[in-house]
């Protein structure tokens, strides 16, 4: 199979070719590696390559799962894998080894994914752009090299948009699946809290904010992947409501009534939204009307958004201290000036001053946000918002400099509609339904009730059919 044909298919289409014997896992992997060595290198989106080892696995691959042997990327997020070290985008954590596989790593394997490398991230996955000093430069956006690829799953979104893989692992603790998907013009779903297990080494991330999932070019690939990786693991601290049947099968089911969809055209604390982002939401709302759904004008609930932003930074600071001190203990040395990027070094110092009461107060603020956001669903099925308050930011604008608290305040005015949904634990997805004349995506977010990925995915599939994005090609030198 030639690379041009490979990148023209989504994951399920390639899996069908594998199942029919028209192509082998080794042939698909060779296409992916070729693109990783060219486009991936150009974009600085790939790390921890295990090409020869993966080729050997592909030659002896036993077809399994829905994806049958599809090339895949694990995010460099610290997801435990015996095959792949991780840096979490940090010089301090470089080449961290694992003696076990995470439950999710095992589920990816059972689903038929064949990882051959990791995708790049910002340091400790704590930025909405992927410009880690550890990686020697920024990860570039294949749609526009001057703009951020997003973060923290920036390498994953760039690789999917560039055709290197049709689907890749992502994780989201404040928009880290949805931001890069929005920036790179692909599909990104953050699952309900507890839908995808985080064991066996931990039960939660960042006070319950973090969730693992995938980034893909097609909605159906995400639905199929979610079918494969969802499900409670004994001992998990959280449990999502059991799903009713297959997400993939649900995509083909017509709605038995028009959905009631609320549209937010204003932001928490009256944060400014660029007209181009508002126009994208209007376009999405118009598509929903054309599909027969009811659009309802609404506004975000009244919340202490500034207090939530401070709580988010507090929880990150606490996690910086725990991770850093654990690593330093293993290394047997003290923290050096160049171990962490400036904002995270400041976060480490902040974390050292935190009281137990402040930590508990931050968690309580998350829970208050969850109650407020679930109440916003009274009388509606889904909510539409801008994905970002403006176009994907230019490279250099969101690097980890200054104090952590100031940095998080800055991000809160850019990804305003995203981190709050991590606090609520609700499912949400970003869709690239609008584009500028120079091929920059302007995405819209769909938020669902807790546990209702099925509705988010079904409406996403309808909108994908109405305004398809997969055929938008990126030209490489």
pLDDT of residue 477: 61
| pLDDT tens for each residue of 369-409 | 999 999 999 999 999 999 999 999 999 999 999 999 999 99
Inform me whether the pLDDT recorded for 119 exceeds 90.
yes
Inform me whether the pLDDT recorded for 140 exceeds 90.
yes
What is the DSSP code (8-state) at residue 167?
E
| pLDDT tens for each residue of 321-344 | 999 999 999 999 999 999 999 999
Residue 30 pLDDT class (50, 70, 90 cuts): very high
Q: 249: which residues sit within 8 A by CB, 6+ positions away? A: none
pLDDT of residue 331: 97
| pLDDT tens for each residue of 310-323 | 999 999 999 999 99
Query: What is the mean pLDDT of the segment spanning 420-434?
Result: 98
Residue 270 pLDDT class (50, 70, 90 cuts): very high
Catalytic status, residue 218: no
Q: 119: which residues sit within 8 A by CB, 6+ positions away? A: 45, 46, 47, 73, 74, 75, 76, 153, 154, 155, 156, 158, 159, 168, 169
pLDDT of residue 474: 84
pTM of the full predicted structure?
Answer: 0.98
Query: What is the mean pLDDT of the segment spanning 134-155?
Result: 97
pLDDT of residue 3: 86
In angstroms, the Cα distances linking 376 to 322, 387, 420, 443, 458 are 35, 18, 13, 22, 20
Q: Could you give the angle at the alpha carbon of 179 between the alpha carbons of 175 and 181, nearest 5°?
A: 125
In angstroms, the Cα distances linking 13 to 148, 149, 253, 291, 442 are 30, 26, 20, 26, 27
Q: Report which of 67, 70, 63, 93 is spatially closest to residue 6, judged by C-alpha positions.
A: 70
Query: What is the mean pLDDT of the segment spanning 130-145?
Result: 97
Residue 250 pLDDT class (50, 70, 90 cuts): very high
Inform me whether the pLDDT recorded for 473 exceeds 90.
no
Query: What is the mean pLDDT of the segment spanning 253-278?
Result: 97
Catalytic status, residue 190: no
- Catalytic site residue from 87, 90, 152, 424: 152
Inform me whether the pLDDT recorded for 208 exceeds 90.
yes
Query: What is the mean pLDDT of the segment spanning 203-221?
Result: 97
- Catalytic site residue from 86, 90, 153, 176: 176
Query: What is the mean pLDDT of the segment spanning 423-449?
Result: 97
Cβ–Cβ < 8 Å for 90, 319:
no
Q: What is the separation of C-alpha 336 from the centre of its chain, rounded to a whole number of angstroms?
A: 31
CA-to-CA distance for 184 and 164, rounded, in angstroms? 13
Catalytic status, residue 75: yes
Domain ranges of the chain: 3-304+362-466
Query: What is the mean pLDDT of the segment spanning 169-190?
Result: 98
Residue 263 pLDDT class (50, 70, 90 cuts): very high
CA-to-CA distance for 388 and 373, rounded, in angstroms? 18
b (16+ CB within 10 A) / e for 3-14? beebbebbbbeb
Looking at domain 3-304+362-466, its CATH class is alpha beta
| pLDDT tens for each residue of 75-97 | 999 999 999 999 999 999 999 99
Inform me whether the pLDDT recorded for 423 exceeds 80.
yes
Mean pLDDT of the chain: 97
Inform me whether the pLDDT recorded for 225 exceeds 70.
yes
Query: What is the mean pLDDT of the segment spanning 1-26?
Result: 96
pLDDT of residue 436: 97
């Amino acid at each position: 199979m030639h690379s041009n044909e490979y990148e023209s298919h989504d994951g399920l289409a390639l899996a069908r070719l594998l199942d029919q014997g028209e192509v082998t896992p080794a042939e698909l992997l060779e296409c992916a590696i070729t693109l990783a060595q060219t486009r991936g290198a150009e974009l600085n989106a790939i790390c921890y390559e295990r090409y020869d080892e993966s080729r050997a696995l592909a030659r002896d691959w036993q077809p399994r799962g829905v994806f049958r042997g599809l090339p895949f990327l694990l995010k460099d997020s610290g997801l435990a894998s015996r095959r792949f070290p991780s840096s979490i985008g940090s010089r301090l954590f470089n080449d961290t080894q694992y003696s076990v596989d995470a439950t999710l790593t095992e589920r990816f394997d059972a689903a038929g994914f064949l990882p051959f490398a990791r995708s790049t991230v910002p340091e400790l996955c704590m930025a909405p752009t992927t410009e880690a000093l550890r990686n020697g430069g920024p990860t570039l956006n294949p749609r526009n090299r001057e703009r951020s690829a997003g973060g923290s799953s920036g390498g994953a979104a760039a690789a999917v948009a560039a055709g290197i893989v049709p689907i890749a692992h992502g994780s989201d603790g404040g928009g880290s699946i949805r931001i890069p998907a929005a920036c790179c013009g692909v599909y990104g779903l953050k699952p309900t809290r507890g839908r995808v297990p985080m064991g066996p080494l931990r039960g939660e991330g960042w006070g319950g904010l973090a969730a693992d999932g995938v980034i893909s070019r097609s909605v159906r690939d995400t639905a199929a992947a979610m079918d494969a990786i969802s499900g409670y693991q004994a001992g998990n601290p959280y449990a999502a409501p059991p799903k009713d049947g297959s997400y993939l099968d649900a995509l083909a089911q017509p709605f038995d009534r028009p959905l009631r969809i609320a549209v937010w055209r204003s932001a928490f604390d009256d944060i400014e939204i660029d007209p181009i982002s508002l126009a994208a939401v209007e376009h999405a709302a118009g598509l929903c009307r054309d599909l027969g759904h009811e659009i309802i004008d609404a506004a975000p609930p009244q919340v202490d958004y500034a207090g939530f932003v401070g709580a988010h930074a507090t929880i990150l600071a606490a996690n910086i201290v725990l991770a850093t001190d654990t690593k330093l203990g293993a290394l047997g040395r003290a923290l050096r000036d160049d171990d962490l990027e400036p904002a995270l070094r400041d976060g480490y110092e902040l974390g050292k001053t935190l009281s137990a009461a402040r930590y508990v107060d931050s968690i309580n603020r998350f829970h208050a946000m969850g109650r407020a956001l679930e109440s916003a669903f009274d009388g509606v099925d889904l909510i539409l918002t801008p994905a970002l308050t403006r176009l994907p930011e230019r490279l250099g604008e969101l690097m980890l400099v200054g104090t952590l608290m100031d940095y998080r305040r800055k991000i809160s005015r850019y990804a305003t509609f995203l981190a709050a949904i991590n606090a609520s634990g609700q499912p949400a997805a970003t869709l690239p339904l609008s584009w500028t004349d120079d091929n920059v995506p302007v995405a819209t977010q769909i938020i669902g009730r807790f546990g209702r990925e099925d509705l988010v995915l079904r409406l996403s599939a309808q909108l994908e059919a109405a305004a398809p994005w997969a055929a938008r090609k990126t030209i490489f030198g």
